[in-house]
Structure 1
């Protein structure tokens, strides 16, 4: 029996090949206006608490914001988020090639909030993922984590107050209340060298 109790909001459950739950997902709208609002809000409000980048097969980019964002521009279907010089672009809507297969493939096909689960089925990370029309990763944003004391620093003890960001985002974007299941994890388990 699942321990998920978020005010009647049930996630989509992703399972591995053995049937084990590995991720809970809450779908978000993928239209350009909704995504622009969400990303502008998240980067404005939580810029110093995010780790983000594309997570691709064989590589994971884990960037942090160097400063508060000073640029949010939307032009020709692309959202630009800038940090006093460094910036990135995301295709969110129709631009130079809106009615071509390539154009439709570049635009978001799915967006969701997620909660990743450890081998025992307890939560160990929380965030947002954006995939293109072909199902390829575009952007992952990892939220504050009770099992981390800073970037790449595993905490000695969990600090569940770091879930306030996740709970705020879930309340505002998924209509879900706090879920005590989020506090059942014990952290990250590192694989021991053979």
Structure 2
């Protein structure tokens, strides 16, 4: 699927619930764009990404052990399967079964209403992590996909002594594809290391 939807490249700096500064880059939320984005990440970058919900009191950081065996849409839900393990995300129009239709308010609650690329900024004012977040119609997080981090070893997640800026390649590709920003942003390469703050 080739979707050429582009959005504005202007970011907005927000303060997250934990007090962290987050630069957010709004993405389209139509089902074709989201299916294209998520399919690309899981089909072509499954070895590089870490995914799961990150909510107050719970952080899931899963890595796929194999390429997806199936990615498909049904009744508004994108399913990504890795053999038996799988997950579903409501990214499109959700109606339910003809014999058991879903109320429109519940369908609206379930469906992605906000999608954003983000970079988390430390207290020193430089980026320390990059990713994608989806939120449903009530603003509840559906999933976070953490992109390769130049400050972390890709195999162990241990902090590297020196940043590996090549690990921002996927971030740069997403910025180019969705915002038309072909040149890397020097701000992304301004940090000195990873820290939880």
TM-score normalised over the length of structure 2: 0.86
Partner of 1:4: none
Aligned pair count reads 182
Partner of 2:5: none
Instruction: Note the alpha carbon deviations across 1:42-81, whole angstroms, 9 max, x for none.
Output: 1111110000000111010000011011201100111100
1:182 aligns with 2:188: yes
**Aligned-partner Cα distance in 2 for 1:102–1:190:** 36
150-159 or 59-68, which moves further after superposition? 150-159
Partner of 2:119: 115
Residues 21 and 121 of structure 1 are in contact (CA less than 8 Å); yes or no, is this contact kept in structure 2? Answer: no
Aligned-pair CA distance for 1:11: 0.6
Query: Equivalent of 1:144, from 148, 152, 169?
Result: 148
Partner of 1:5: none
**Aligned-partner Cα distance in 2 for 1:92–1:190:** 31
Residues 127 and 190 of structure 2 are in contact (CA less than 8 Å); yes or no, is this contact kept in structure 1? Answer: yes
Query: Which residues of structure 1 form unaligned runs of 5+?
Result: 1-7
Residues 48 and 148 of structure 2 are in contact (CA less than 8 Å); yes or no, is this contact kept in structure 1? Answer: yes
TM-score normalised over the length of structure 1: 0.87
What is the CA RMSD across the aligned residues, in angstroms?
1.9
**Aligned-partner Cα distance in 2 for 1:44–1:142:** 15
Q: Which runs of 4+ in 1 moved over 3 A?
A: none
Residues 16 and 22 of structure 2 are in contact (CA less than 8 Å); yes or no, is this contact kept in structure 1? Answer: no
